[in-house]
Amino acid sequence: MENSFEALIATYIENKVGISEHFLSNDLANNLKQNLFALNESSQLAAAGIGNSEKLSYDGAIRSDSIYWLDKKHNNAFENEFFAQIEAFILYLNESCYAGITGYEFHYSLYEAGDFYLKHLDQFKNNPSRKYSMISYLNSDWQESDGGELLIHQLDNNQKISPTQGKTVFFKSDELVHEVLVTQNTRMSITGWLKSD
């Protein structure tokens, strides 16, 4: 586990975008994916908004995915396993990099064919608590023709990251503008933020 933590941190230090190809085990990714399928089949996902609770709006011309917030109160075994891994990573990050992270929030994200999310920053103008963004992908057998890449905009090196199963991406929430390119296939992830309140 620490190898995947160190991979995230080392690649983040190198180019401001941390990537671990196997942050999630295949078993955990498959179980989380089955949870997401079940939630979608029971119509528990909601249209994703733009902004936070103080200034929330919905605009399908900007983003068109659906989400479901994870919560320990749900007491789902696989989501709890995911939370335990995130908490272990936060401890490692705080001890090795003095990051000062005190909390987190995560949701499932589902993009159907044709869905996208235009350029944006993850930190709200009226609330700076989100410090780092983390995205863990749940897509096995993803092909280049499926699209749906995460495109991170940097002055000298834009990065296009494929959403392959088990991969996790990590970057500062107030620093990098990014977007999700149009997907041609069902695209699943757990997306969230490490916070300092």
| pLDDT score, position 64 | 87
Reduced to 3 DSSP states, what percent helix, strand and coil does the chain have, rounded to the nearest 5? 30, 30, 40
By the 8 A CB rule, do 17 and 64 touch?
no
- pLDDT tens by residue, the chain, 197 residues: 778 999 999 999 998 999 999 999 999 999 999 999 999 999 999 988 665 555 655 666 788 899 999 999 999 999 999 999 999 999 999 999 999 999 999 999 999 999 999 988 777 666 688 999 999 999 999 999 999 999 999 887 789 999 999 999 999 999 899 999 999 999 999 999 999 98
Alpha carbon distance 19, 152 (integer Å): 12
- Under 8 Å between Cβ of 59 and 50: yes
Q: Which residues pair with 178 in a beta bridge?
A: 120, 152
Q: What is the reported pLDDT for 121?
A: 79
Residue 189 is predicted with a pLDDT of: 97
Please provide the CATH number assigned to the domain covering 1-48+63-195. 2.60.120.620
Q: H helices then E strands: how many in the chain?
A: 3, 11
For 179, list phi and psi in degrees, rounded to 5: -150, 160
Per-domain residue ranges of the chain: 1-48+63-195
> Hey, how many other C-beta atoms are within 10 angstroms of the C-beta on 92?
17
Q: At how many degrees (to 10) do helices 77-97 and 2-15 cross?
A: 50
Residue 105 DSSP code: E
Of 110, 19, 101, 31, the closest CA to residue 67 belongs to 110
pLDDT at residue 67, rounded to an integer: 95
Give the whole-angstrom CA distance, residue 16 versus residue 161: 14
Which of 36, 122, 108, 104 lies closest to 65 in space, CA to CA?
108
Identity at 141, one-letter amino acid code: D
